[in-house]
Structure 1
Amino acid sequence: MSAPVVVHGLSPSGGRNVAINGQIAGVAHDDRDLVEFLRRAGLVDAWDLLDDPHWVEWRGGRAHRYEAA
């Protein structure tokens, strides 16, 4: 079973698409953006979840990196 939050690989223009339960939530350009998407989805402890692989799967790049590829 995969994590409910997927942070996809880096875009050539910077940022990463974020999907929550299979639905695109938006493009994150930093961890603050990602936390805001999670907060809007009802995850109040979002900062604590970013490095929990049961909640967040980082694909196609290092975790917490959002610079243009």
Structure 2
Amino acid sequence: MHAKLNDQERRSLVENFNDPKSNLKVMIITYNIGSVGLNLHEACDFVILSAPGRNWSQEAQAFGRCLQGPMDLTNVWI
């Protein structure tokens, strides 16, 4: 996901990622784009933060995208 996607393209990408029948298994997102407002909890089992956020709050928001709603298990690596 990147900043040049319009709202419809972003929604479509998120819907595709959350669809259990989709072959999309990995989503790479920067903090500026993915730390707020995304709901990836339907399909997200792993979160890898490959770079530090500006602060702990930003990092918590980023991996929180996978921790909303019903979930079985989410693994977080920092």
Same fold (TM over 0.5): no
Provide the TM-score with structure 1 as the length reference. Answer: 0.27
Provide the TM-score with structure 2 as the length reference. Answer: 0.25
Q: Which protein has the larger Cα radius of gyration, Structure 1 or Structure 2?
A: 2
Higher helix share: 2
Higher strand share: 1
Higher relative contact order (CA 8 A, sep 6+): 1
